[in-house]
Amino acid sequence: MAENVSFVPYQFERFPEDEMLRRSIDFLERMSNRRTVREFSDEPIPSEILDNAIATAGTAPSGANKQPWHFCVITDPEIKKKIREAAETEEKENYERRYSEEMKKDLSKFETNFVKEYLTTAPALIVVFRESYKVVDGVRYKNYYVNESVGIATGMMIAALHNAGLATLTHTPNPMRFLNDILNRPQNETPIVLMPIGYPAEGAKVPDINRKPLDEIMSRF
């Protein structure tokens, strides 16, 4: 599948330094206010915002520009119910048997358990799939840095949704293969995250936790 691409001039938008600084502060402030939410309102959300957030994710860099991702948007209550039932079955097993004592201790501050009400309450779910490899006419083609590419795309999607005024939960029931069956996705795709999206429920609370300060997460050389 050798392809030739031509090169075109990049229309890069350069800002004066004071504006760069202002934009970086504005964006940091906006993102600092993002929290993972576990209590959602069932109020409907505009579908175009989800489309735009997924299109934003689709602008992410990827290994050899393979764009090895697929996004399923679920708003159908019946499908959400099926997903919730399957996720709770796995999570019950996780909490009761598979999680180590250390993990349960690490999770205790979030007060999570196997009941996943948000999977039916939130007006939309997005499932992000990684495309581990591609099959075209029975021939298998490689993708590269798939986890990295999909992780970057998902981060950009979370930022886009938060920026638009919607809350998300990065939920990863494990294993998640049941999502291939429910959503009819091929075996070369693996679900990476199951993300409820919506407005926080009235009076929603989040754990009182802090972000590491810059000097702890950064070294200068």
In the bound state with ligand IYR, the residue whose beta carbon lies nearer, of 163 and 170, is: 170
| Residue 7 backbone dihedrals phi, psi, to 5 degrees | -105, 140
Using the rule CB under 6 A, is 120 a contact of ligand IYR? no
Using the rule CB under 6 A, is 84 a contact of ligand IYR? no
What is the greatest pairwise CA distance in the chain?
57
Report d(CA 176, CA 150) in Å as an integer: 16
Using the rule CB under 6 A, is 173 a contact of ligand IYR? yes
Segment interacting with ligand IYR, rule: CB under 6 A, options 58-66, 139-147, 168-176, 180-188: 168-176
In the bound state with ligand IYR, the residue whose beta carbon lies nearer, of 43 and 117, is: 117
Using the rule CB under 6 A, is 112 a contact of ligand IYR? yes
Using the rule CB under 6 A, is 107 a contact of ligand IYR? yes
Using the rule CB under 6 A, is 39 a contact of ligand IYR? no
Reported in sequence order, the residue ranges of the chain that DSSP labels E, i.e. its strands, are 69-74, 124-131, 133-136, 139-142, 167-168, 189-198
In the bound state with ligand IYR, the residue whose beta carbon lies nearer, of 39 and 91, is: 91
Report the b/e string of 85-122 with b at 16+ CB within 10 A: ebbbebbeebbeeebeeeeeeeeeeeeeeeebebbbbb
Q: Determine which residue in the list 91, 192, 193, 195 makes contact with ligand IYR, applying CB under 6 A.
A: 91
Segment interacting with ligand IYR, rule: CB under 6 A, options 7-15, 124-132, 165-173, 195-203: 165-173
CB of 128: closest distance to ligand IYR in angstroms? 15
Return the DSSP state at 213: P
Report d(CA 16, CA 20) in Å as an integer: 6
Using the rule CB under 6 A, is 191 a contact of ligand IYR? no
Cβ pair 164, 53 in contact under 8 A? yes
Q: How many residues bind ligand IYR (CB under 6 A)?
A: 7
In the bound state with ligand IYR, the residue whose beta carbon lies nearer, of 46 and 207, is: 207
Using the rule CB under 6 A, is 110 a contact of ligand IYR? yes
Q: Which of 163, 162, 157 is nearest to 57 (CA)?
A: 157
Reported in sequence order, the residue ranges of 137-207 that DSSP labels E, i.e. its strands, are 139-142, 167-168, 189-198
Residues of this chain that interact with ligand IYR (CB under 6 A) are 91, 107, 110, 112, 171-173
